[in-house]
Structure 1
Amino acid sequence: MKNQLRHLSLTTRLSIAFSMICCTVFFAIGLLSYHNMQHLLAKQRDQNLTARVERIEIFLQDQESFQILVQYPRLYENMLGKEDNLLILRNQQNALIEINPLKVHIPAMAESKTITFLDNQSEFATTRLAYKTVVFNHQHYQLIAGTQLDEAQSTLDQYLWTLILYSVLGIGMASLLGRWMGLYLLKSLNNLIEQTHKIQGTQPHQRIEVNSTTVEVDKLSSAMNAMLEKIQINYDQLAQFSEDIAHELRTPLNNLMGQTQIMLMQSRSQQELEQLLYSHLEEYERLSKMIDNMLFIARSEHSDYIIEKENIDLSNLILELVHYFEFLAEDKQMRFVLALEKGIQIYANADLLKRALSNLIINAIDYGFEDQDIVISTKSTENHVNIEILTKNVFIDKQHLNQLFERFYQIDSSRHSKAKTGGLGLSIVKSIMMLHHGEVTAYNTNEGIIFSLKIQYLT
């Protein structure tokens, strides 16, 4: 059944569901109406029997009327006017009035000072009886009135067929109206499907435009357009990434091929060959490091990539890195100036955080000016700590600030230098901060460019 429903359109499913709902509602209403009608007819029948018993009782209060009724019982039979009606008046000896044209079996009845109702038999009853014990001239009389159940049942049967007819007509009309409304309400959804089919991979900037009559379709088209926008951004990034990879790999490969071709043009000494191998080794190391960095960035972008974290004393970690890079800074006559808050504990991966800070420090040393300071400071807030690295008198144009952390992005003036991280250093910093749910930003100040890391901490 489920497999069959899968092949049906949403409009057909809604029509079937609406028809089933209508069937259920009409059936419930019809059933309640039938039972209500049955109750009303039974109540009306008992009221008629009660009125008949009370009317005869009034006759019995008058001696003259009583005598006439006893002498001429068929007089009241004519008054009843129906052959299936029943009236019996009897005392303990015999029946004074017995109008029972259908010879209905009368069960035994106990005395009752009030009008009591019962059927003539417990199963397959045919007659409804009402009886009462009345006292006249100091004698007890039992007054019994009855009516056939066939009349009420005939009315109920007729009412039942009327209900069935109206219910079928109602279900049919409701189903047709439901299908029409489904087609109308889902018209915009069908238009959305048609436009989605028209989107081709050769038109990445194409978007969905639907004049919708429903809020849900508007939201769906907006969500799909947002998804297409994200796909377009990822596609552009992938295309740019492929172009950057080709550019970054082409340079060392061209160097390797060019040097090798030159060396093969004539016989070379062993020393020249060794120098060539050392040069090739340097390029191989650069390629290897670039590939490692690319793999790290690719892994870090997966949502299921998990890193181990621990509580780290931030001041000790920065001091350890500064001590390690002091010799590189001294080669350019640069100095580290530290402004660290004591006692800050952060929850992070020590190795990855060292790698991010190392990339920023190396970046400051490589692109900083000689005889300038590199200022490293920490500033704690309520929920996180900012680690800032200031390279004095170095400024970056605003147009480049938002692109510094893209893969292989380098400012034109710096492309002549061989980046130690293969053009991926700042991208690695961004990936590491994403793994820590932190942020990395770069902005200019009056003193120079600042790279800032924001990461959660524990006190």
Structure 2
Amino acid sequence: MKNLLRNLSLTTRLSIAFSVICCIVFFGIGLLSFHNMQHLFAKQRDQNLIARVERIEIFLQDQKSFQILVQHPRLYENMLGKEDNLLILRSQHQTLIEINPLKVHIPDIAESKNITFLNNQSEFATTRLAYKTVFFNQQYYQLIAGTQLDEAQSTLDQYLWKLILYSLLGIVMASLLGRWVGLYLLKSLNNLIEQTHKIKGTQPHQRIEAKSITVEVEQLRSAMNDMLDKIQINYDQLARFSEDIAHELRTPLNNLMGQTQIMLMQSRSQQELEQLLYSHLEEYERLSKMIDNMLFIARSEDSDYIIEKENIDLSNLILELVQYFEYLAEDRRMTFILELEKGIQIYGNPDLLKRALSNLIINAIDYGIEGQNIAISTKSTKDHFDIQVLTTNIFINKQHLDHLFERFYQIDSSRHSKAKTGGLGLSIVKSIMLLHSGEASAYNNDKGIVFSLKFKY
């Protein structure tokens, strides 16, 4: 059954669902209507029997009328006008009136001062009886009135068949109407499907243009266009990454090949060969570091990658790093300015946090202006705290700010090899922040470029 439903279109499924709902609703209303009609017929029948019993009681109050009724019971039978009606008046010793043309069996009836109802049989009843014990002429009499159930049942049967017929017609008409409405409402969805099929990988900037009057389909179109925009961004990043990694790998390989080819042109001394090997070793170390960094970034993007965390005093961690890099900063006549809030605790991995901050500090030292300051500050709020590294008097164009944390992204088109992280330093910072459920950002203020690390409590 499930496999069959999978092969059906959404329009067909909606039509089937609408038809099923119509079946339930129509038959539910029909059964409720039939039940109410049954109750109405039964109530009306019992009221007629009550009226009949009360009329006979009125006759009994008049002695002359009673005598006439006893002597001429046919008169009342003619008054009833139907052969299936029943009237019996009897005492303990005799039956005064017995109008029972169909010879209906009367069960044993107990005394009752109020009008009481009873079927002539517990199963397959044919007659509805109403009886009452009345007192006149210094004696108790039992008054029984009855009517046949066949006439009411025949009317109910006809009503039931009409209900079934009208319900079936209503279901058919509602199903056809539901099919038409489904086709109309899903027309925009089908148009969306056709436009989606027209989008090809060779035209990455192509989008779904046709708008829909249906709110849900329009939201789907907008969501799909947003998804295509994200795919386009990732595609552009991947293309740029492929170009950058090719350049980054080509540079050391060209160096290795060029140096080796030059050395092989003629015989070289042992000292020259050793220098070549040392030069090769530097390139190998650079390649190895680049590969390690790329592997770290790839692992950090895996949702199953787990790191060990502990409580870390932020001020002590930053002071430790500043002391380590202080000598490198002095070589460029740079000074660290610290504005640290005490008591800030970070729950994270100390080695990874040191690595992230080290990359920012190295970046500030390498690209900062000699003689300028590097300001490191911490600031806490109710829901997060920031670590900010400011490189004084260095500003980055706004067009580059959103791409700084991408792999191998470099502002300088000459692609100098000044960076010590192989063009992956800021990408590593971003990956470390993602592992700590934080975020890394960069922005310019009036003093210079600020790299911010935001942690949530």
Give me the TM-score of the superposition, normalised by structure 2: 0.91
Letter in 2 for 1:48: N
Match of 1:255 in 2: 255
Match of 1:228 in 2: 228
For residue 202 of structure 2, give the secondary structure of its aligned residue in structure 1. coil
Residues 125 and 292 of structure 1: CA distance in aligned 2, closer, same or farther (over 3 Å): same
> Alpha-carbon deviations, 1:291-314, whole Å to 9, x = none?
111222222223333322222222
Match of 2:301 in 1: 301
Partner Cα separation in structure 2 for residue 85 and residue 342 of structure 1: 104
- Is the CA contact 2:366–2:418 (under 8 Å) kept in the aligned structure 1? no
| RMSD of aligned residue pairs (Cα, Å) | 2.4
For residue 412 of structure 1, give the secondary structure of its aligned residue in structure 2. coil
Residues 371 and 34 of structure 1: CA distance in aligned 2, closer, same or farther (over 3 Å): closer
Match of 1:367 in 2: 367
Shift of 1:119: 1.9
Residue 432 of structure 2 is aligned to residue 429 of structure 1: no
**Pairs within 5 Å for 1:148-227:** 148-227=148-227
Letter in 2 for 1:137: N
Residues 102 and 354 of structure 1: CA distance in aligned 2, closer, same or farther (over 3 Å): same
Partner Cα separation in structure 2 for residue 355 and residue 133 of structure 1: 105
Partner Cα separation in structure 2 for residue 61 and residue 342 of structure 1: 109
Partner Cα separation in structure 2 for residue 345 and residue 264 of structure 1: 58
Partner Cα separation in structure 2 for residue 350 and residue 64 of structure 1: 118
Percent of aligned pairs with the same amino acid: 85
> Alpha-carbon deviations, 1:161-191, whole Å to 9, x = none?
1111111111111211222222222222222
Shift of 1:285: 0.9
Shift of 1:222: 1.5
Residue 274 of structure 2 is aligned to residue 240 of structure 1: no
Shift of 1:448: 4.3
More off after superposition, 50-59 vs 446-455: 446-455
Letter in 2 for 1:123: E
Partner Cα separation in structure 2 for residue 140 and residue 190 of structure 1: 84
Partner Cα separation in structure 1 for residue 446 and residue 157 of structure 2: 98
**Pairs within 5 Å for 1:288-437:** 288-412=288-412, 415-437=415-437
> Alpha-carbon deviations, 1:209-228, whole Å to 9, x = none?
34323322222222111111
Residues 69 and 242 of structure 1: CA distance in aligned 2, closer, same or farther (over 3 Å): same
For residue 113 of structure 1, give the secondary structure of its aligned residue in structure 2. coil
For residue 376 of structure 1, give the secondary structure of its aligned residue in structure 2. strand
Residues 396 and 132 of structure 1: CA distance in aligned 2, closer, same or farther (over 3 Å): closer
Letter in 1 for 2:20: M
Partner Cα separation in structure 2 for residue 335 and residue 138 of structure 1: 129
Partner Cα separation in structure 1 for residue 140 and residue 250 of structure 2: 126
Structure 1 residues not aligned, in runs of 5+: none
Structure 2 residues not aligned, in runs of 5+: none
> Alpha-carbon deviations, 1:247-282, whole Å to 9, x = none?
111111111111122222222222222221211111
Shift of 1:366: 2.3
More off after superposition, 104-113 vs 40-49: 104-113
For residue 109 of structure 2, give the secondary structure of its aligned residue in structure 1. coil
Letter in 1 for 2:194: E
Match of 2:5 in 1: 5
- Is the CA contact 1:131–1:144 (under 8 Å) kept in the aligned structure 2? yes
- Is the CA contact 2:290–2:424 (under 8 Å) kept in the aligned structure 1? yes
Partner Cα separation in structure 1 for residue 339 and residue 128 of structure 2: 106
Shift of 1:233: 0.7
- Is the CA contact 1:90–1:96 (under 8 Å) kept in the aligned structure 2? yes
For residue 105 of structure 1, give the secondary structure of its aligned residue in structure 2. coil
Match of 2:143 in 1: 143
Residues 108 and 367 of structure 1: CA distance in aligned 2, closer, same or farther (over 3 Å): closer
Match of 1:52 in 2: 52
**Pairs within 5 Å for 1:40-119:** 40-119=40-119
For residue 165 of structure 2, give the secondary structure of its aligned residue in structure 1. helix
Partner Cα separation in structure 1 for residue 310 and residue 103 of structure 2: 102
Partner Cα separation in structure 2 for residue 456 and residue 126 of structure 1: 82
More off after superposition, 116-125 vs 448-457: 448-457
Residues 93 and 230 of structure 1: CA distance in aligned 2, closer, same or farther (over 3 Å): same
- Is the CA contact 2:115–2:131 (under 8 Å) kept in the aligned structure 1? yes
- Is the CA contact 1:188–1:210 (under 8 Å) kept in the aligned structure 2? no
For residue 236 of structure 1, give the secondary structure of its aligned residue in structure 2. helix
Partner Cα separation in structure 1 for residue 388 and residue 113 of structure 2: 105
Partner Cα separation in structure 2 for residue 336 and residue 122 of structure 1: 104
